[in-house]
Structure formats: C-alpha cells, structure tokens
Amino acid sequence: MTRTHTVTDSPLGPLTLVAQDGALCGLYMTAQRHLPDPAGFGPRDAAACREVVAQLRAYFAGELRAFDVPVVLTGTDFQRRVWAALTQIPYGQTRTYGQLAAAIGQPTASRAVGLANGRNPVGIVVPCHRVVGSGGSLTGYGGGTDRKRHLLELEGGRQAAGQLSIL
C-alpha cells in the first residue's frame, strides 16, 4: 500500500488529496472535522491525483456533475453502505438522513447514518454535502456549513426561496 498526496486550490480553500495505489482514498479540507493524522498521507507528489484535480476543477466550474475516478473507501461495512448510497444522490438534489437510512434498508438508523456521513473520507467526490436535516436544514458538515451551502448552491440545490429541494 503506497500513499501519496497533493494539495490543490479550490473555491473552498486548499484541498488535500490522498491517493493509495493510484486510487483516491482521502479528500480533506482545512480544519475539517475527523481529519486523520497527515503523517499517514505519504509523501507529497505533485502528480498524485492529477485526474482528480482536473475533475474537481471541472466540477467547480459547473462543467462536471459526476466524478469518474477510482476511489478506495476504508471504513466499517455500515459506513461503506452509507457512502455507497451517497453516490446515488443525483447532482443538484438532496436527501435527509432519514431518507438515506431508509435507502440502505435501516429506516430507524438516521443518527448512525449521520455519524457515518460525517466520517466520509472523500467528501465532494462522494457527495455527503447532499444530505440535510429533516425539512432541509443545513445540519453538520465535516467541512463546515458554509462550505456545504457553497456546494449545494453550486449544484443548484437551492430554490429561489432559499429552501433546499428535497426529493
């Protein structure tokens, strides 16, 4: 297992991208909650995650709606099920924690879904920002609610009245 990392600028501030054997295994924002020890990111390599950087630039420019890069997600079986369900939320749409819990077949596990969502190691690419509280409230986000709002607005997930569109 060989890890390398790179740092790229974004409208959300610097993003640290970690690759493991050529697949994205980490995408971290400055002051992100649940940030792992950077000593595990491996050496800095400007070529690491070149395709991820290109796709992130296209995403932030409004030209990309779905990422197509290899991803390695390390977590519990439950976390990986939640993270897989996140990838099924279409661009520009949101789901509540309860809806996501129901989607994985555990309708009473919305709190556990929220905890797993917060531990997503590759935010943006695995779109945990598309999960909101009941009624559309912007509840916790590992990168902060301002960043979550920015991502949802970028995707057009906010209606003119300022309420989130939950489908």
C-alpha distances (whole Å) from 147 to each of 33, 51, 70, 104 are 13, 23, 24, 26
The pair phi, psi for residue 120, each rounded to 5°, is -55, 120
- Tokens representing 167 are 């489908």
- Name the catalytic one among 113, 122, 128, 131: 128
Chain-centroid distance of CA 152 in Å reads 12
Residue 158 to residue 117: CA distance in whole angstroms: 21
**Integer Cα distance of 138 and 147 in angstroms:** 11
Q: Is 25 a catalytic residue?
A: no
Locate 140 and state its tokens. 């916790």
Residue type, 21: D
Q: How far apart, in whole angstroms, are the C-alpha atoms of residue 126 and residue 114?
A: 14
Residues marked as catalytic: 128
